[in-house]
Structure formats: structure tokens, C-alpha cells
Amino acid sequence: MTPLRQRFIEDMQLRGLAPTTQRSYIHYAAEFAKYYGTSPEHLDLEAIRQYELYLLHERKMSPESINTFVSAVQFLYLVTLEMPWGKECFPRVRVATKLPIVLSPDEVELFFRHVGCLKHRAALMLCYGAGLRISEAVKIRIGDIDSKRMLIRVEEGKGRKDRYVMLSPRLLAVLRACHRMSPCRTPAPKDYLFGSWREGRPMTCGALSVACRYAAKNSGIPKRITAHTLRHSFATHLLEGGTDTRVIQVLLGHSRIDTTARYTRVSAHVIAGTPSPLDALGRTSKQEPKKPRK
């Protein structure tokens, strides 16, 4: 390992970047150096620009992937190499604004009926019933379930932030059934609720994604369904039920309210319930006071 790579890793660790983010940044920085056949410390902003164009036009990479590369080299040059450049020197590709896919309540019920494995169904129900990300759902521990207060503690979610989410009676019944099927007779509070075949490790996100994909296919629902689709549906159905956006923001673990506000764009009840100004035209003219006669 080169000294630059070692310092790059240490800087990311010191700033608390998630392990997945660290692996992603290392990958993109290594590919960047491999493309030019030299260390990044010998390259300049023009090299970054040309490589970004290469990723866009020749590699045909998505804007999200290219922007991840930009974040990686921005951290490398501004933090590790301490270059006197500003963030404006690292242009990003515009990402198209896409509305999240949302299932109807009936589609959610149909989907869950086609999840064959109880452990997979319980984990996916966490994504819909509590709004958890797939990475958060698989890492829930037995001690995180507070049945007395009907809460679930999400420890170190995205951004390493803890939060509490609701625990519905129906979800609790499913989790208890899943817990009773555990091969361990005396599970400890620190044990993962959805354990892997590897002792002391949780079920992988990949395994749950595969189960979700099979259930979506067998259900016959034409929409593209992932575990994150269930999280989107959770937020949208809460909004349609009258839950305040600020509460939804806390439940989802969003840092910014505008991230949560995008669900107002896919909420059918909110959109359909908003009166059009067209309907007010005739009403306004009828309510105008009559002019007195001279």
C-alpha cells in the first residue's frame, strides 16, 4: 500500500465516513490513477475534467456514479493532498429528477403474500412498516425491539445517526414469530434478529434484495419493486394519512426537510385534494358585490 493510499484511508476514517463510502472512494481513486498510469498527486484539475468526460461519453456511466467519482477525488485533493482548490473546481453532472415508485396499499399486501421465507418477509416488513433502509433492516438486533414502548431503535443509520421508529402490533407479531424460529435457544440482546449462516453476522443486503426481486416477480405487479420502494411507499402512505412532514422526516432519518418534501409530489391524495384555481373563477365572479344604482 502506497503512503498516499494509507493517508487517504486514514483521513476518511478520521472523518467518520461509512465503510461502504470508503470502499467506493478507494475504488474510484484507484481507477483514476490506473487510467493515467501515475499517482493522483501528479495529476491536475484538467486531468480530472478529461477523465470525467471519459466516464460520461465512453464508459457511459450514470450521473450518480460519475458524481461519486467527483466526491472521491474532491476528498482526495482537498483533504488528503491539501490542494488550494475550491469545491467549485469539481463540476458535477446534472442528475435527472425522478419521482420514486410507490405501491398502493393493496399492492403492498399482494407483494408480502409472495415473500415465501418468514425471515425475509419480516425484514421487508421493517422497510415498509417502519420506513427502514435495507441496510438498517438487516442490522436490527433483538435488543433494539422495545415492545413495551412499541418502538424500534435504529442504531447508526445513514450518517451514523441513531433514531427511533414506530413498532406496529402487526409487525411485532411477525418479528416474534421470526424470533421463535431462531436456532439459538438463548439469544442475547446484541444478537442480530436476522442472522446469517455465518455466526455473529447479519443477513446480507444482497440476500434480502434477491428475495425481494423474486417476490416482486411472482406477485405480477408491473412496477419495479425494491426494498427502497417499500420505504418510499411508507413515507407516501403516511403523508396521505395526514402525518406531518416533519414527523416523517424524523422517522426516515432525513437531515433536510426538502428531501422528505419530495413525497408530496407522488402523493395522489395531496395532489388530487389541491383545488385548481380554475374552479375558483366562477365562484369569484358570483361573489362580487353589485354596484349601487345612481
* Active-site residue (options: 119, 120, 139, 231): 231
* Active-site residue (options: 120, 232, 237, 254): 254
Residues 192 and 139 sit within 8 Å (Cβ to Cβ): yes
Is residue 231 part of the annotated active site? The answer reads yes
158-185 in b/e form (b: 16+ CB < 10 A) is eeeeebebebeeebeebbeebeeebeee
Is residue 54 part of the annotated active site? The answer reads no
Residues 28 and 78 sit within 8 Å (Cβ to Cβ): no
Query: In what order do the strands lie in the sheet containing 145-146?
Result: 145-146, 151-154, 163-166
* Active-site residue (options: 141, 153, 163, 228): 228
Is residue 237 part of the annotated active site? The answer reads no
CB hemisphere CA count around 117 (13 angstroms): 13
Single-letter amino acid, residue 245:
T
* Active-site residue (options: 5, 158, 163, 179): 158
CA angle 259, 141, 210 (to 5 degrees): 65
Tally of CB atoms within 10 A around 219: 19
- Locate 284 and state its grid cell: 369569484
Is residue 254 part of the annotated active site? The answer reads yes
Residues 191 and 184 sit within 8 Å (Cβ to Cβ): yes
* Active-site residue (options: 133, 139, 232, 237): 133
User: Residues for the chain: how many in total?
Assistant: 294
| H helix intervals, the chain | 3-14, 19-36, 45-57, 63-75, 105-113, 118-129, 134-137, 169-180, 205-219, 227-240, 245-252, 257-261, 268-272, 279-286
Distance separating alpha carbons of residues 241 and 93, to the nearest angstrom: 36
Residues marked active site are found at 133, 158, 228, 231, 254, 263
